[in-house]
A = this chain, B = another copy of it.
């Protein structure tokens, strides 16, 4: 079970979010991940360690490389938690729609 504290904390950094956004289009090595940033490879490696221990990425061994990819379980856990807020807001919008619909039909009744 991924820890939501460490997962959200890992997501609070713009470089780590950019790394995840890059991994959304597929697996990548540290070298490939470091390329677009003005950061050293050791700095990227540190960010990857944070993402890995937060359960947001998975690394596999491929010879001397350790390519990274998104970790479905960790991202699902964050997403499921957020779904609760998303659904609550959607319900509020539905209620607002109902109120507006009633107001409109009342208005129509007022027309002589």
> Measuring CB to CB, which residues of chain A are less than 8 angstroms from any residue of chain B?
4-6, 8-9, 11-14, 17, 20-21, 23-25, 70, 72, 75-76, 78-79, 81-82, 84-89, 92
Decide if B88 touches A25 in the complex (CB within 8 Å).
yes
List 18 A–B pairs whose Cβ atoms lie within 8 Å, in order of A's numbering: A4-B12, A4-B14, A8-B9, A8-B11, A8-B12, A12-B12, A17-B81, A23-B88, A24-B87, A24-B88, A25-B88, A70-B85, A70-B89, A75-B82, A75-B85, A75-B86, A79-B85, A79-B86
Looking across the interface, which residue of chain B has its beta carbon closest to that of A25?
A: B88
Q: Is the interface of A mostly helix, strand, loop or mixed?
A: helix
B residues in contact with A89, CB < 8 Å: 70, 72, 75-76
B residues in contact with A87, CB < 8 Å: 24
Instruction: Determine how many copies of this chain the complex contains.
Output: 2
B residues in contact with A11, CB < 8 Å: 4, 8, 11
Contacts A9-B9, A76-B89, A78-B82 supplied; 19 other A-B pairs, CB < 8 Å: A4-B14, A4-B17, A5-B13, A8-B9, A8-B11, A9-B12, A11-B11, A20-B85, A21-B84, A23-B88, A24-B88, A25-B88, A70-B85, A72-B92, A75-B82, A75-B86, A75-B89, A79-B82, A82-B82
